[in-house]
Structures are given as C-alpha cells and as structure tokens.
Amino acid sequence: MKEVINLPVHSIEEEEYHINMGPQHPSTHGVLRLVVTLQGEIVKKLKPHCGYIHRGIEKMCEKDTYPQIIHLTDRMDYLSAHINNHGVCLLVENALQIEVPERVKYIRTIIDELTRIQSHQLWWASFGMDLGGLTCFFYGLRDREKILDIWEESFGSRLLHSYYTPGGLMQDIHPDFQKKVREFLKYFRKKIRDFDRILTGNVIFRERTCGIGYMSRETAINYGITGPSGRGSGWSCDVRKHHPYALYDKVEFREVLRDEGDTYGRYMVRMEEMRESMHIIEQLIDNIPAGDCSAKMKAVLRLPAGEYFQRVETARGELGIYCISDGNKTPLRMKFRTPSFINLGVLDHISREMKIADLVAIGGSLDLVIPDIDR
C-alpha cells in the first residue's frame, strides 16, 4: 500500500522561487551572477555572486614594479582605463614628491574627461538597451567611436591604453589631437540632443525610471555609493571637487547633483556630467602649454617605506588606491577600492519589492563594470 505523503499546502501567491540572473545574461553586462528570489514578478531578495572574472590583480601587483602596475589597472574598469592609470601615477608621484610638467597635467585632465564622456556614452547606450530601446545602443556607440579614433591616433590603442606613466606620459600627443578634440566637441554638442530626444523625453522612459530604485541620501552615504550613482541621491562626493588633483582646482566646473535619488536622477546626473566634461575640455584644449611630456624619472622607482593613499574620480565613482611600501621596487601590499564593487552592495537594498524589469533598469543605472567588481 502506498504511503500517503502530506505535503504542506501553500497558496500560489505565497510561494517564492529563485532565478539565476547570470553569469550569462544579457542585462548583467558581464559575468555577474544575481540569485534573485521572486514572488511572481516581484523581487524579494537579491544576492550577488561575484568572482567569475577574478584575476587576483591586487596579488599580482605585489610582484610588479610601479610602471608595470599601471598595465593591470587598465583591466579593472576598462571604461575608465585612463583614470585608473592616473590614480597609480599620482600615488607614485606624490610618494616620490615629483612635480610633473604643466603640459602633462593639461593633457591628463583633457584625456580623463574624454574618458568620462566615452564611458557615459557607452553607459547610455547599454542603459537604453536594458530598457528595450535597441536603437540607443547604436547611437551611443557611434559617438563613442569618435573618441576612440582620437585616442587611437595618439596612443595607438582603443581600449586598454596604459598611456600615463609615473612622471608623465608614454609619448607626446599627436599633432592633430587638439584639432580633432575640438571637432569632436562641436559634433557631440549637437548629437547629445539626439540622446535627449530619443530617451530623456520619452514617456515610456519616464515611466520606467521615475521613482524606481529610490536611494535616499542617507542610504548612499551608509553604503558608500560614490560617483554619479551617489550624486543622483544628492550626496556631494566628487573627488575632483573635494580632493582636487591634476588641474581640477583651476578649471571651472559644476558638480552635478540631483535630489530625485531614483533611476531617473542617476540617469540625469550622467547626462549632465557629459556636458560638464565637455565644458572642462573646452577650457583647456586651446591653451595646452608647450614643454616636456614627462618629468625626469629614475630607471627603477622605489617608494620610501610607508603607507600611501590616493583617490581619483572615475566615471563610476571614487577609486581609492592604498599601497604599503617597504622601500623595495615592488609594493608590499596594494589594495584597490573600486567603485563598482561598493556600488553593487546597494543593489539588493534598492531593488526589493520592485519588478524584474525594474531590477534591470536599476542595475543599468548603477553602471556596473564586472571586471571592476572582481579585480
């Protein structure tokens, strides 16, 4: 005789189930795995699993010299490659108390801002795609291509440049650099209006973003959310303003702050930041001073024993680089505080009780770069 099993009876609404978003999923933009607990379509809990692209960059730094470390930082947040390089360069320069030539500062600032623009362009492209507007993707990439072309001409690479070296630059910029950048600014001032027309003003887009994934200012501070994601909640956290490096204390620019705290707020911060970046470049591009493109450096760099910390504002937030040196040519310990890793932490908090479609929008608005999470 069969045994009768008494199964507990749940009503259908009560039952929760899990889905694995990723590691291969179109909207995680890489190998991030989110284990999402759902009730119907509503997200109840979310657990990110990272480590699928962990390369041990921090450990690798311990056996590399400082100029070599720069090449590893490219591979963290590949969309802010220049700014990551800048962080390491500043760390070494400050530790050795080297004053870099004025020309280098100008070029670095311009290229950092170009990096920010192209990163936000790609973010805009993929954010539009996350929301289902595939055309945005091509518009964003079309305009990003212009910046990559300028870069290719000057440094010979398009994604991972390692153009900055401690003390200066790898080589001088291409003679056409200034002309091309001016052309780009003129071009993109016109094209950014297209961006607004296709997404910002769209009713469906507003419906999908306004009030979705609300993050209060307190939450942003508690979770340490920096960059455009934090500024979308009204938290003034721009490293360029608070701890200026390169020429950021000389140029005039506005720190974009929005009070909405939702997906739309974070979206608008990035759109405004692209305009601000163009404004910064416009102030600098016409008066790059002549001079050397590098300071005199020793062949082997040895940092004096001690602890060093340097922060820079990447396109995703604050990148903190912490280094302990024992006086050798390689650091004893390197630690990167990468913005994407910290920003991922808040995803669970702000996407609870939202729909799956909202989770995709929120994830897009945090602008996560997966190699930056895993390092």
Partner 1 sequence: MAFNIYDLTSFTRSIDQALYDWLPPVWALIVEMTIIGLTFLLFYALVGLILVYAERKVCAFMQNRVGPNRVGPYGIFQTIADFVKLLMKELVYIRNSDKLLFNIAPFIVIIASFMAIAAIPFAKGLHAIDFDIGILYVIAVSSLGVVGVLLAGWSSNNKYSLIGAMRSGAQIVSYELSVGLSLLTVIVLAGTMQFSQIVEAQSGGWFIFKGHIPAFIAFVIFLIASTAETNRGPFDLAEAESELTAGFHTEYSGIKFAFFFLAEYMNMFIVASIGATVFLGGWMPFHVPGWEGFNHVMDFIPPLLWYGAKTVFVIFLMMWFKWTFPRLRIDQLLTLEWKYLLPINLVNILIMSFIVLMGWHF
Binding site for partner 1 (CB under 8 A): 17, 19, 25-27, 41, 128-139, 142, 198-199, 202, 204-205, 207-208, 355-358, 360
- Give 226-254 as a DSSP string: -HHHHHTTT----HHHHS--TTTTTS---
Q: Which is nearer to partner 1, 135 or 236 (CB)?
A: 135
Contacts of 318 (CB under 8 A, 6+ apart): 226, 227, 237, 239, 311, 312, 337, 339
Closest CA relative to residue 372, chosen from 108, 158, 47, 55: 55
Please say which residue, 132 or 156, places its beta carbon nearer to partner 1.
132
> Under a CB-based contact definition with an 8 Å cutoff, are residues 144 and 121 in contact?
yes
**Closest distance to partner 1 from the beta carbon of 19 (Å):** 5
Q: Please report how close the Cβ of residue 131 comes to partner 1 at its closest, in angstroms.
A: 4
Residue 198 or 293 having the CB closest to partner 1: 198
Task: Give yes or no for a cis peptide into 23 (omega within 30° of 0).
Answer: yes
CB atoms within 10 A of CB 11: 6
96 or 356: whose CB is closer to partner 1? 356
In the bound state with partner 1, the residue whose beta carbon lies nearer, of 26 and 56, is 26
Q: Which is it for the CA torsion 357, 33, 135, 365, positive or negative?
A: positive
Least distance in angstroms from the C-beta of 37 to partner 1:
12
Please name which of 28, 59, 103, 18 lies closest in space to residue 366, comparing C-alpha atoms: 28
Cβ nearer to partner 1, comparing 285 with 359: 359
Nearer to partner 1, 147 or 319 (CB): 147
Instruction: Tell the smallest beta-carbon distance from residue 357 to partner 1 (Å).
Output: 5
Which among 32, 59, 26, 87 has a CA at the least distance from the CA of 344?
32
Q: Which residue has the tokens 């303003």?
A: 241
* Shortest Å, Cβ 262 to partner 1: 14
Give min distance, CB of 21 to partner 1, in A.
Answer: 9
Burial of 310 (0-12, 13-18, 19+ CB in 10 A): buried
- With a CB cutoff of 8 Å and minimum separation 6, the contacts of 155 are 161, 163, 170, 171
Q: How far is the CB of 229 from partner 1 (least distance, A)?
A: 19
